[in-house]
Copies of this chain bind each other. A is one copy, B any other.
Amino acid sequence: MIKRIALIGTGNVAEQLCRILLEKDFELVGVYSRTKESRNAFGIKWNIEVCTSFTEIEEKKPDLILIAVNDSVINSVSHSLEQNSVVVHTSGSIPISELRQTSRGVFYPLQTFSKEKKVDWSEVPICVEGSTPELTEELMNLGKSISKEVNEIDSEQRKYLHVSAVFACNFSNHMYAIAHKLMEEHQMDFEMLKPLIRETAEKIDSLAPQKAQTGPASRKDEKTMNDHLELLAESDNLRHLYGLISEQIIALQDGKKL
């Protein structure tokens, strides 16, 4: 059973994972990150021993080394660790094969993490993959100890899960950012849009998003769409985006391919 965990990385995911693992009585045996300041600050904040090298991490004899670092350095971190360590990364987009260890795995929490906001882990779907059925089971159990929703997802599926998540989260958030900007530019409070945003997100609990669609494009209301394009005259990029998404909404309504 996994009990003693070492952590590499001190970013948003590392921090939120650390908090919940400590709450659930796992033993965090050490933390390492490249910069001295960040690992020291992290160690002090969470009362975890700070390691100053990959070797020191491995000398703690953890059951598992969790690497919660930028996607771009997962491969090189894996190469700095021993072949026989048990190494698991937390990324949505990196295949398990980028880890060089024999016992390797993925523990991907499907959520958006910010330092400023505490996440309710019990609601975070956790997607796991292990190099052996035994490790997969261990990771499933680790997941279940912090969340109600744990799924086995292989590297191929996870790639599509990740790009889906970018649309569902980052891109919908960008739509909020555009609305925020337009409201500010016209002396209105973004607060006014919040109930609408909440309702839009809640609606898909009971309706498929395509069925929940409303607005000028879904009504094929050309007049309103043209009026909106005129209002966006100052920004070619926004006009372009407005047109493209509206066309796609209409295509979906008509049962066409995107």
Q: Which of A33-41, A51-59, A133-141, A232-240 contacts B (4 or more CB under 8 A)?
A: A232-240
Can you list the 8 inter-chain pairs with the closest CB atoms, starting with the nearest?
A170-B215, A201-B201, A172-B172, A176-B209, A168-B179, A177-B209, A160-B186, A164-B179
B116 touches A177 (CB 8 A): no
For residues 147 through 196 of chain A, which have their beta carbon under 8 Å from a beta carbon of chain B?
Answer: 149, 151, 153, 157, 159-183, 185-188, 190, 192-196
A200 touches B203 (CB 8 A): no
Identify 9 residue pairs between A and B in the complex whose beta-carbon atoms are under 8 Å apart, listed by A's number: A110-B196, A123-B198, A166-B215, A168-B197, A170-B215, A174-B209, A174-B213, A198-B202, A237-B258
* Contact A175/B167 with A195-B149, A205-B194 known, Cβ cut-off 8 Å: yes
Nearest residue, chain B, Cβ from A119:
B199
Q: Which residues 202-258 of A sit at the B interface, judged by CB distance below 8 A?
A: 202-210, 212-219, 221, 223-224, 227-228, 231-232, 235, 237-238, 240-242, 244-245, 247-249, 251-252, 257-258
Complex Cα gap A231–B163 (Å) = 8
Note all chain B residues with C-beta closer than 8 A to A113: 214
- Which residues in A have some Cβ–Cβ distance to B below 8 Å? 12, 70-72, 93, 110-114, 116-117, 119, 123-125, 127, 149, 151, 153, 157, 159-183, 185-188, 190, 192-210, 212-219, 221, 223-224, 227-228, 231-232, 235, 237-238, 240-242, 244-245, 247-249, 251-252, 257-258
CA distance A76 to B93 in the complex (A): 54
A127, A149, A248 interface centre (most CB from chain B within 10 Å): A248
- B196 contacts A169, CB within 8 Å? yes
Identical copies of this chain, number: 2
